[in-house]
Chains A and B, each alone.
Chain A
Amino acid sequence: WRRRSRRRTWRARSSPTSTPTARSPTRAPSPPIKRLRAFHIIESTVRHGVVPPQDITREAWVLTDEAKGYAAGGSREVHLVAAIPPEGASRAALKEEFGDVVFDIARKAAAKNKWIRFERGIVLRTVEDTTDEMQELLKRVENGEVVPDLIKELKRRKLVTKEKVIWYSLKKGPEFVVKRKTLATDVTREHLKSGDWKDLEFKDYNYEAQGQPIAIGYSQPLLEVREAIQNIFLEMGFSEMPTNMFVESSFWNFDALFQPQQHPARDSHDTFFLKAPATTTQLPDDYLEKVKQVHQSGGYGSKGYGYDWKRDEAEKNLLRTHTTAVSARMLYKLAQEEHFAPNS
């Protein structure tokens, strides 16, 4: 396949596999196809097991139509000189013969070659014969010769243009087939039932695509961490305390834990006291007396705090500030037991 970049038509070659030459376009029997469409056709041949096409770009200088005329019939300057009689001719006469434009061009070229001279408005020959170098050159270019140093002049005189030709070389690959096959995307019940599955060929999966997100339930991550921590203690033989009691009295939360009543932790800044229920109605009186004594004047080896302990303060309800309040209750309960022994 050969594609001309200027003209947007295609010409098909008869044999798709032979090496292209820039020189010899053959007229293909098929009608011209638009460039883009032909490009897609080429791409799609890959599906038929054709090796992906190689494109080969060639650039060549071709003669313009004007230049072709000169190549065939000789250049203008030669004609001009030939048209001048030995005695010379006037400019006007020459202009009339060749036309203004052609005369100008030919005159310049001839003058450059020093074939003519001017004398009192008369154009005279300086040489007898001229060698039509221009015609020679153009013929050579037409034949495909590359003339790098002279091409500039030709380009300036608009006698040549650059032509880009892109060739595609197509080769049969190992999987070359003439007939195209459709690929299956899925295995279906019908395939299995009918037995068609035996002939199935599958389109490639795109493994980079994500699977379908599934609908699931979730566990709260903090609670999972809590469970892990609980397990550590359980495995060491600890028993869980009942902590499902958010409202606590200052007695169990502070006083029983030897926290003095003017301690900053008992500030309204740092503890949520309650409006309802505001106070605790029942506290173990005998234990309370002991707690009071230790706070006020010590005991059990302690010096005590030496302040006046108030029951009202201990009865104030609050939202438990630490689970140690539960520990205090548990210790009191354990102390009521007859014997103290490890839990089992």
Chain B
Amino acid sequence: APTCLSKPPLSAFTSSGSPAVLARLPGSRVPPPANNTAPQPPLAMPTVSVGRDRLFAALGRVYTQDEFEALCFDFGIELDDVTTEKAIIRKEKHLEEDVEADGDDEVIYKIEVAANRYDLLCLEGLARSLRIFTGSEATPIFKIASIPRGSMLQMHVRPQTSQIRPYVVCAVLRGVTFAEVRYNSFIDLQDKLHQNICRKRTLVAIGTHDLDTLQGPFSYEALPPQEINFIPLKQEQTFRADALMDFYRSDMKLKKFLHIIENSPVYPVIYDSNRTVLSLPPIINGAHSAITLKTRNVFIECTATDLTKANIVLNTMVAMFSEYCENKFEVEPVEVVSHDGSTAIYPDLSCYKMEVSLSDIVGPIGISLDETQVISLLNKMQLQADLCSSNREPCISVSVPPTRSDVLHARDLAEDVAIAYGYNNVPKSKPKSMTIGGRQPLNRFSDKIRAEVARAGYMEVLTFVLTSHEENFDMLNRTDDGNKAVIIANPRTSEFEVVRSSLMSCLLKTLKHNIDHPRPIKIFEVGDVVSLDTSRDVGASNNRRLAALYCNSNSGFEEIMGLVDRIVKIVRAPHINFGQTYYVPSSEPEFFTKRQCKIVMSDGKQVGYLGIVHAEVC
């Protein structure tokens, strides 16, 4: 039977003998995730799929793949994958190589972009940014069409909307021509924005409509679901809103948005003056105002719980697609009239003005450029820069367009200058001042202990900090009084429910998975356990412990005692006078009675315990 040594105050760290035990204990299956939804890849960078030839046509020249990769790299994006629509469909449907699949052979580039660059989520924005970057185009200036206030389209906001989804912003694109690819791009961008900044439509939801099928002024209301009736997109019959919720429960795409409004007493809804439903945000648009390839005038509305983000989304939509308007880059405004009478005109395409000293831009990067050079670099990144008129020190004034909502601070300007300059071109340097380094005393001490125990012939293991509730308590014959362990609210699997409060279960688990290892098995770990601690601001604290385990055909109690003696000898501070015996009989549930003891210092403090592991344990 294995004998286990555990010492609470000392740090105990575990290292795995065989590499397999560290990463994944051999023989242990990873249980399926607690919830059955496929786990999202954590914060994957958004990928935009664009047809290669379309992209090159938009860029005005053809690149080899290497050339294009280099261009992407310089700009700060990455060509992730090259594929075809056929290959994508084949992959989705898990078809074999030679089986006929739908889709064409048009080469598709999948480009990875930064998660905060909403202006790069569609081909239009991507191509435009690259054209500006390579200098073949200037940053567009977006204009609001000059419509007299009285003739502007209006959106009236009713007070009930503040219960569920308070904000709405709108805009109109006049005289657009939708070829099929542009239309697909338009829809795709909405999808990407929904996934991205809109946080799956919870913060913002976009609705786009054929303006010619509607009659302004519009009203944004929130009504009980029973009072809302309309024909939703792609359907032919009229649905009542509450029935519609049930209807979409089986819809793969829409069911995950139902929770946003379904339990609310009122659902948000947009009507035109003929009481035609434009949309039931954030679920679905009405069929009546659906956009087709023949649509000429587009009405865009964004409902939201976050006004800042709603504006960013609306600005992105119009900035990307206003290039297809009759008056290029011109957007027609809409007036939003709030229930308290206040009005606002959207979209707000104003540029954010910043005045930054030259040193604030080039200093943090570590390069030396003059204002002219910095200005040209900023312009490449769509940040309209110019010399500052005033100021003693060199200064740059920047006009950040609505497409660059990610620029918040001078540091963001510095970042863009660095990207345009090329990170690889920034010269490396060493720190100019000398400092004296040092280790944390606890870690220094831990490392010494680890080395000693390894010298004693023990194999270091490194086990998981998270463990299951059962392993932490029941398996050690211990009960959870609720005051001991830190418990995770959203564990992914039952393996990771609590933070370990003892190293013993970790060592025993390691032993279990390596039970066929030749005897004797001698393992140890020095590591942290966590326990609830009201004296700390967060309510818990770490405790560094050492644990060692001896397993052989004999119990080896004296072996473990020998190890304890060795450690006590090397650790004891000279002025602490240890008594003859520091072993005191104990009665812990994880060991056999009378086959265990605790280690007590001469000041009466218990520093650890050891014993022959009880047969009922694991």
Interface string of B474-493 (1 = CB under 8 A from A): 00000000100111111100
Of A262, A301, A304, the contact of B410 (CB 8 Å cutoff):
A301
CB within 8 Å of A: which B1-30 residues: 13-17, 19, 22
Interface string of A190-233 (1 = CB under 8 A from B): 00000000000000000000000001111111110001001001
Partner of B465, one of A240, A246, A274, A300: A246
Measured between beta carbons, the chain A residues less than 8 angstroms from B352 are: 303
Chain A positions within 8 Å of B410 at CB level = 301
| A275 pairs with B489, CB closer than 8 A | yes
Can you name the residue of chain B whose Cβ is closest to the Cβ of A307?
Answer: B306
Q: Is the CB of B15 within 8 A of A272?
A: no
Whether B408 contacts A223 by the Cβ 8 Å rule is no
**Interchain CA distance A274-B199 in the complex, whole Å:** 23
CB-defined contacts of A268 to chain B, threshold 8 Å: 489-490
Q: Any chain B CB within 8 A of the CB of A150? A: no
The answer to whether B482 touches A244, judged by C-beta atoms less than 8 angstroms apart, is: no
- Of B36-44, B83-91, B602-610, the one contacting chain A is B36-44
Chain B positions 502-542 with a Cβ under 8 Å from a chain A Cβ = 522, 528, 530, 532, 537-542
Give Cα A233–Cα B436 distance, bound, in whole angstroms: 11
**Assembly CA distance A223 to B15 (angstroms):** 8
Contact in complex: A302, B539 (CB < 8 Å)? no
- List the A side residues contacting B17 at CB < 8 Å: 218
- Could you give, for residues 238-253 of chain A, a 1 whenever the CB lies within 8 Å of some chain B CB and a 0 otherwise? 1111101111110000
A220 touching B16 by the CB < 8 A rule? Answer: yes
| A305:B465 contact, CB within 8 angstroms | no
> Is B528 a contact of A276 with CB atoms below 8 Å?
no
Q: Which residues between 264 and 299 of chain A lie within 8 Å of chain B, taking CB atoms?
A: 264-265, 268-270, 272-283, 298
| Consensus secondary structure, chain A interface | loop
A247/B486 in contact, CB under 8 A = yes
Mark contacts of B417-458 with chain A using CB atoms, 8 A cut-off: 1 yes-contact digit, 0 otherwise. Answer: 000000000000001011111111011000100110111111
Query: Shortest distance in angstroms between A255's beta carbon and chain B's nearest beta carbon?
Result: 14
Whether A276 touches B532, Cβ cut-off 8 Å, given contacts A240-B443, A303-B352, A344-B435, is: yes
Q: B16 — which chain A residues lie within 8 A by C-beta? A: 220
Distance, CA A275 to CA B15, complexed state (A): 29
Q: Among B460, B490, B528, point to the contact of A220 (Cβ < 8 A).
A: B460
* Chain A proximity of B413: nearest CB distance (Å): 10
Residue B380 interfacial (CB < 8 Å): no
Residues of B within 8 A of A279 (CB): 539
Q: Could you say which of A217, A273, A300, A306 has the most chain B C-beta atoms within 10 Å of its C-beta?
A: A217
Whether B542 and A219, one on each chain, are in contact in the complex, defined by CB atoms closer than 8 angstroms, is no
Question: Interface size of A by Cβ–Cβ distance < 8 Å?
Answer: 59
- Whether A244 lies near B544 (C-beta < 8 A) is yes
Q: Does A236 contact B (CB under 8 A)?
A: yes
* A residues near B530, Cβ cutoff 8 Å: 246-247
Cβ-neighbour of B528 out of A223, A230, A244 (below 8 A): A244
Number of interface residues of B (CB under 8 A): 69
User: What residues of B have a CB within 8 angstroms of the CB of A241 in the complex?
Assistant: 440
Q: Are A245 and B538 in contact (CB under 8 A)?
A: yes
Contact A302 B537 (CB under 8 A): no
For window 291-332 of chain A, which residues contact chain B by CB distance below 8 Å? 298, 300-307, 317, 319
Q: Which one of B460, B482, B532 lies within 8 Å of A218 (CB-CB)? A: B460
Q: Is the CB of B408 within 8 A of A317?
A: no
Q: Give the residues in chain A near B491, CB-CB below 8 Å.
A: 272
A343 interface hit (Cβ, 8 Å): yes
Kindly supply a per-residue 1/0 record for chain B positions 142-163, scoring 1 wherever the CB is within 8 Å of any chain A CB and 0 otherwise.
0000000000000000000000
Q: Contact between A217 and B203 (Cβ–Cβ < 8 Å)?
A: no
Hey, which chain B residues are within 8 Å of A220, CB to CB? 13-16, 22, 460-462
Beta-carbon contact of A217 and B539 below 8 Å: no
Contact assessment for A217 and B489 in the assembled complex, using a CB-CB cutoff below 8 Å: no
Q: Is B308 an interface residue (CB 8 A)?
A: yes
| Cα A238 to Cα B433 with chains together (Å) | 12
Our pick among A227, A233, A273 for the contact of B437 (Cβ within 8 Å) is: A233
Residue of B nearest to A282 (CB): B537
Question: Across the interface, which residues of B come within 8 angstroms of A240, CB to CB?
Answer: 437-440, 443
Contact residues, A17-52 vs B (CB, 8 A)? none
21 residue pairs bridging A and B, Cβ less than 8 Å apart: A218-B459, A219-B15, A221-B19, A222-B462, A234-B438, A236-B437, A245-B542, A246-B528, A246-B530, A262-B199, A262-B306, A272-B491, A273-B488, A274-B489, A275-B488, A276-B482, A277-B540, A278-B489, A281-B539, A282-B537, A307-B306
User: Chain A: residues with CB nearer than 8 A to chain B?
Assistant: 215-223, 227, 230, 233-242, 244-249, 262, 264-265, 268-270, 272-283, 298, 300-307, 317, 319, 342-344
Given contacts A237-B436, A273-B488, 15 further A-B contacts (CB under 8 A): A219-B454, A223-B460, A245-B542, A246-B528, A246-B542, A247-B540, A268-B489, A276-B486, A277-B486, A281-B537, A282-B537, A301-B411, A307-B306, A307-B309, A317-B539
The 4 tightest CB contacts between A and B, nearest first, are: A220-B15, A277-B539, A306-B308, A237-B435
